[in-house]
Structure 1
């Protein structure tokens, strides 16, 4: 009987040890001639989520034993050395600003009673549209991030991001009912003095109007490899290297209509319809390197990002414009010419430019669940050389046709981000 009791006691002791091991996770590593154990066993029946992290205090040689953090739940207060969640995805709402568009003054007016020779002519006239920056208001957008750690210790991984901003739309219109004097200003290439084409002037031209519209679209993405360079337990640094893409599409349309009443050498009722369009596309492809830093304090974490990309910006400018002149009467004729601002530069032009594109970012995150974080942060992206439609306008009206010259400047987007990240 005593022998049976001894066997039963030994079996019970072994069962207790095995059960205890099934409710914890253990990682042992030693130096020298001792055996190295690398195991992680979690009992799902205890309600431990599949995304649970096995936390540790330090990995500095000697012996390491990892257990679930008793004070903060399964997610733990310390950085995990073994993770059962190697995939992560982040969705963010963006509220970003972009560099707006600059143009010369495009539409002007003058007070009633202004002499015809001075009507709409700068600097005495009032600018209704152009002459300053527009289209730089905050616009919503979205960013998606997908990443995967390539090992259970999260020392290396891959990550990809794609983001897009909502279109920035500007619509302006003016007519002779609201502005009896309406004009399109320009500079005379012969005298280099300011002049104006009158769209509406009492007794000189009849009903007239002007309209300007613009649209700006920006999107980008990148993919990179990341690997751990330093980990102190609460602070981690990763080196990043990969590829970046961005595209900036913009268009500027300028339209006007006027009717001659008492214009020398032009028959009464002759109409002038002008339609011009300046379109740009900037497409960036390049390599990038960077550094990310993470500071973690229990459920809170601060992420910092600094990257710089180098590559080619493919710039394309398309210019279209025409003036349609219709003479009324039995012998009516239609004469189509180039638009005054488009001039002799109608066509499509391309250029490749070397561009530097840095990015800075900061993000706070709060862990509401072992597999879910809420995030809020700020991002800034800059490109050193971008062609925009307004910069391609030559205010010298009727200038003799010459070789098209690209005009470009820097461009940026920046703003705040709000989102959530899941790990699986």
Structure 2
């Protein structure tokens, strides 16, 4: 009698389990020769089990087709059912969750500690990366030349010491990105990218009493005002034996940062991939500067007894401020603990270009009289500050691979490329065509045209990503 009772009990449990499994999968089971009916269809007079979450009556067992043990299927989780009752856990390898189900970290009537700390859902992100960035070589004309002792430092025979291709090497930087999904398919975020100053400096000196000291010069292209057909290379001597002792200091630097706010909308996604459309606002600044100062002491007092020393100073400073929108796509693919992200976007908008040219020539006389003129070797009447607005675009590409070593934390490594179209760079603003008579003279400043160029930045990123 006990065996029969146990057998009937087991059969009832198997029938109930199978019906629940089939109902969750929206499959139907034919009942004898009756029309096809979905499991879960109810009979109006069936009893309600005590403690049931559903108040609708359950169909009599006689209405279901016979089910064997082999027909059983595991019941799936219902969105908002088990997950909601267990504190929001969507992954059983979350901190405090085991491999079978959410434990007390995320479970319990109150949602558990994981729910309190928001560790059981993943609808937000925080990313922090260190950047190792390279700038494109900045172009500038030859600004400092040298030659053998006693030789006039004029091109093309002289050696270019500063100018031409200016390569600042590697620069560090930081990029952060934080945001949150407001719905399953819509989120907002903000990002900040800063790259430290990229540049270099140069200094040299020459003493005419040293027979091994190389000659130093500031080259320019001499274009006579009244006979331009005789134009040729020339140079202002900074140091040369029996003429001048002097020194020169020069530097260049480029700074860049970008900040943007954006919204993202999901086009399609599944468990392993996601494609999103991104749109928003971008602000960026790209600054570039070249500064050069040279000082020379006249050693031939018999040739010019009144002029003791001369200092030439030139500054080329450019600022590019971008305000505009951004459009792009980001795709994410996951395989196990690995995740690959590809971001392609273009920033479109207005670039405000500002260029400053400042030149001075200071003469120090033997009687302590100082005379200052508002021009220099390569800066004459075209000086002052000029500003213009142009439409431009900034394409951007980011590729990142992340390894998830904790449920919410990943290490990332990536590559970034940014291209700037229609920007004012300092080297492009230098005009080396000069008339010797205009060097070091007082002039009336006149307006000038801003020369536009392009620039790019690229490098790798190393960082961490936290989903919360």
Answer yes or no: is the 8 Å Cα contact 1:294–1:302 preserved in 2.
yes
Would the alpha carbon gap of residues 39 and 354 (structure 1) be closer, same or farther in structure 2, given more than 3 Å must change?
farther
1:346 is aligned to 2:383: yes
Answer yes or no: is the 8 Å Cα contact 1:385–1:409 preserved in 2.
yes
- CA separation in 2, counterparts of 1:39 and 1:283? 52
Would the alpha carbon gap of residues 403 and 215 (structure 1) be closer, same or farther in structure 2, given more than 3 Å must change?
same
Aligned to 1:372: 409
Which of these residues, 242, 245, 265, is aligned with residue 203 of structure 1?
242
RMSD: 2.9
Answer yes or no: is the 8 Å Cα contact 1:340–1:398 preserved in 2.
no
Answer yes or no: is the 8 Å Cα contact 1:204–1:263 preserved in 2.
no
* TM-score, normalization by structure 1: 0.79
Would the alpha carbon gap of residues 350 and 335 (structure 1) be closer, same or farther in structure 2, given more than 3 Å must change?
closer
Answer yes or no: is the 8 Å Cα contact 1:25–1:40 preserved in 2.
no
Structure 1 residue 264: Cα displacement: 8.3
Answer yes or no: is the 8 Å Cα contact 2:362–2:370 preserved in 1.
no
Residues 7-406 of structure 1 aligned to structure 2 (within 5 Å) = 26-27=77-78, 40-43=83-86, 52-53=89-90, 84-114=121-151, 119-135=152-168, 137-151=169-183, 154-177=184-207, 179-190=213-224, 191-205=230-244, 207-262=245-300, 266-267=304-305, 270-329=308-367, 332-398=369-435, 403-406=447-450
Structure 1 residue 54: Cα displacement: 5.1
Structure 1 residue 298: Cα displacement: 1.8
Answer yes or no: is the 8 Å Cα contact 1:25–1:41 preserved in 2.
no
- CA separation in 2, counterparts of 1:209 and 1:385? 36
**What is the DSSP-based 3-state SS (H/G/I as helix, E as strand, rest coil) of the residue aligned with 1:391?**
helix
Answer yes or no: is the 8 Å Cα contact 1:239–1:290 preserved in 2.
yes
Query: How many residues matched?
Result: 364
Answer yes or no: is the 8 Å Cα contact 1:109–1:179 preserved in 2.
no
Structure 1 residue 42: Cα displacement: 4.4
Instruction: Give the stretch that moved more between structures: 103-112 or 334-343.
Output: 334-343
Q: Which 4+ runs in 1 deviate beyond 6 A? A: 71-74
Structure 1 residue 266: Cα displacement: 3.1
- CA displacement 1:377-400 (0-9 Å, x = unmatched): 111111111111111111012487
- CA separation in 2, counterparts of 1:248 and 1:273? 30
- CA separation in 2, counterparts of 1:147 and 1:387? 33
Structure 1 residue 267: Cα displacement: 2.3
Answer yes or no: is the 8 Å Cα contact 1:267–1:327 preserved in 2.
no
Structure 1: runs of 5 or more not aligned = 1-11, 18-23, 29-36, 45-49, 56-67, 75-82
* TM-score, normalization by structure 2: 0.72
- CA displacement 1:280-336 (0-9 Å, x = unmatched): 100111111111111111211111111012111100001111000122037x45243
Answer yes or no: is the 8 Å Cα contact 1:361–1:380 preserved in 2.
yes
- CA separation in 1, counterparts of 2:331 and 2:467? 19
Largest Rg, 1 or 2: 2
Answer yes or no: is the 8 Å Cα contact 1:378–1:414 preserved in 2.
yes
- CA displacement 1:35-92 (0-9 Å, x = unmatched): xx76732436xxxxx7x4259xxxxxxxxxxxx9958999xxxxxxxx7232221110
